[in-house]
């Protein structure tokens, strides 16, 4: 009987309050991290960024980390300031609630400028077209708000390894982690 609904091909594991899909740590509006999870910046992600920045420099592009690891407490302060300024609904479009920020994983970097205009700069275009080669994805791709719950962030990279990053790259039309899984 082949009428059975197709089962998910992805392995979902819960461990120490964290959720992994096919071994990839997932943090978003649904899946959170424990408040005491505090790994600092991932050495693997930092090394990949350094390698990417060196390659970009060879192309005349300067990349730098604007923001990387953030503790639960730092995210709480940041989110609360956005919520006080704009209200929670508007804050939720641009900022993660505490425990729901990828910055707490130590696997993501906000590059250069956290302005929408970054996507139109030579740096933003280089990152969009090349970051996958170093294991990074554009975490909140253009037009994927319905999947991610966040506006497009051309500067927000998440380290996922080269194999997955290449699949998400999709010839420059990025697929979000939520869509992929």
Residues recognised as catalytic = 153
The Cβ-side half-sphere exposure at 85, using a 13 Å CA radius, reads 10
154 touches 119 (CB < 8 A): yes
For 46, the token pair is 């930092």
DSSP 3-state of 26: strand
Closest among 14, 150, 176 to 94, alpha carbons compared: 150
Closest among 40, 1, 26 to 164, alpha carbons compared: 26
9 touches 180 (CB < 8 A): no
């Amino acid at each position: 009987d082949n009428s059975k609904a197709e089962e998910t091909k992805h392995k979902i594991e819960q461990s120490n309050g964290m959720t992994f899909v096919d071994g990839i740590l997932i943090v978003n509006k649904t899946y959170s991290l424990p408040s005491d999870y505090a790994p600092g910046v991932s050495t693997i992600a930092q090394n990949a960024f350094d390698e990417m920045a060196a390659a970009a420099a060879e192309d005349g592009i300067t990349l730098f980390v604007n923001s990387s690891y953030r503790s639960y407490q730092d995210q709480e302060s940041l989110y609360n300031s956005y919520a006080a300024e704009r209200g929670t609904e508007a804050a939720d479009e641009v900022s993660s609630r505490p425990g729901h920020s990828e910055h707490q994983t130590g696997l993501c970097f906000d590059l250069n400028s956290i302005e929408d205009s970054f996507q139109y700069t030579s740096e933003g275009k280089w990152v969009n077209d090349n970051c996958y080669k170093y294991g990074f994805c554009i975490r909140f791709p253009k037009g994927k708000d319905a999947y991610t719950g966040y506006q497009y962030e051309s500067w927000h990279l998440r380290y996922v390894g080269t194999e997955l990053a290449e699949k998400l790259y999709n010839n420059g039309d990025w697929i979000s982690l939520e869509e992929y899984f």
